[in-house]
């Protein structure tokens, strides 16, 4: 069944609102169609040193598929934007790297996630982090104001990725960098998976083939676009009662870097 962009966004917002309310340890709720995001999952993405700097309230709602701050090579004083910041784990790690002279902006479209992240920031005392409510397709961020954009397993949830990448290009300073961890496709998904609400909110149905993903970034104006792929850090075996599709050879975790042309 074909769904409108707004319907997809509302489904995603509702799912992540419920996770924020419950401080759930799984991005996929009770559906278990993609058995992901547990404390062990967070430990597979981040170093022990990184996790030790943050309380359990933050690390237990790690909803990503990578570690974008590790590849971003952040510098002191930079302005960082995290697309789909969730409970704030990547924002807080970025804040440690940019220091007091730097600033981190977390953007999320789910009010409950924003509330959770702000409470986490208050408990941590992260004075150089702020969280803004908004959509990636309409970022409440000024033109050419951000040094680095990070995102962790969120762009796949956007129904119109072309707009997301154009917005990312707009807000980055000349020479700015885009560093994204995400889910991408290695092959065609079964039609039932493509149409599944749970697979949309569980990071699978909205994913693109790697080449298509990179072409969309280039079309937005980015240059030096590169991608590394690895097995997904969570199970992609659907749990239907019959004809259970195993998606392990259909999806991958990717690390993408791209740059906005201009002075470094």
pLDDT at 191: 66
Q: Is 140 exposed, middle or buried (0-12, 13-18, 19+ CB in 10 A)?
A: exposed
Q: Which domains does the chain have, with CATH numbers?
A: 5-235+244-259 (3.40.50.150)
- Distance of alpha carbon 29 from alpha carbon 33, whole angstroms: 9
pLDDT in tens, 114-141: 999 999 999 999 999 999 999 999 999 9
pLDDT at 84: 94
- Distance of alpha carbon 176 from alpha carbon 202, whole angstroms: 30
Positive or negative, the Cα torsion across 188, 194, 199, 200? positive
pLDDT band at 236 (very low <50, low <70, confident <90, very high): low
Q: What is the Rg, in whole angstroms, of the alpha carbon atoms belonging to the chain?
A: 17
Here the tokens at position 192 are 């039932």
% of the chain residues with pLDDT over 90: 52
pLDDT band at 26 (very low <50, low <70, confident <90, very high): very low
Residue 25 in this model has a pLDDT that exceeds 90? no
Q: State how far the alpha carbon of 184 is from the alpha carbons of 56, 94, 148, 228, 237, in Å.
A: 29, 24, 22, 11, 16
Mean pLDDT of 155-163: 92
% of the chain residues with pLDDT over 70: 78
Q: In degrees rounded to 5, what are phi and psi of residue 243?
A: 50, 50
Q: Rounded to the nearest 10 degrees, what angle do helices 210-219 and 161-171 cross at?
A: 40
Mean pLDDT of 80-101: 96
Higher pLDDT among residues 109 and 22, named by residue: 109
- Distance of alpha carbon 59 from alpha carbon 67, whole angstroms: 13
Of 7, 5, 4, 28, residue with least CA distance to 18: 28
């Amino acid at each position: 069944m074909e769904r409108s962009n707004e319907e997809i966004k509302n489904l995603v917002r509702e799912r992540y609102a419920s996770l924020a309310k419950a401080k759930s340890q799984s991005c996929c709720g009770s559906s278990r169609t993609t058995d992901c995001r547990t404390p062990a999952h967070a430990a597979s993405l981040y170093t022990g040193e990184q996790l030790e700097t943050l309380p359990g309230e933050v690390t237990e709602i790690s909803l990503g598929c990578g570690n974008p701050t590790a590849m971003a090579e952040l510098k002191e004083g930079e302005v960082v934007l995290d697309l789909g910041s969730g409970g704030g784990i990547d924002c807080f790690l970025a804040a440690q790297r940019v220091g007091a002279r730097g600033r981190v902006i977390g953007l999320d479209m789910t009010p409950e996630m924003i509330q959770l992240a702000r409470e986490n920031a208050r408990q941590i005392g992260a004075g150089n982090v702020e969280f803004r409510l908004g959509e990636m397709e309409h970022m409440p961020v000024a033109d050419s104001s951000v040094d680095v954009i990070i995102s962790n397993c969120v762009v796949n949830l956007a129904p119109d990725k072309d707009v997301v990448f154009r917005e990312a290009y707009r807000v980055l300073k000349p020479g700015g960098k885009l560093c994204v961890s995400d889910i991408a496709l290695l092959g065609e998904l079964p039609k039932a998976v493509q149409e599944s609400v749970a697979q949309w909110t569980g990071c699978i149905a909205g994913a693109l083939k790697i080449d298509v993903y990179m072409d969309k970034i280039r079309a937005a104006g980015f240059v030096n676009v590169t991608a590394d792929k690895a097995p997904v850090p969570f199970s992609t075996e659907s749990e239907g009662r019959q004809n259970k599709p195993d998606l392990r050879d259909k999806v991958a975790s990717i690390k993408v870097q791209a740059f906005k042309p201009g002075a470094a």
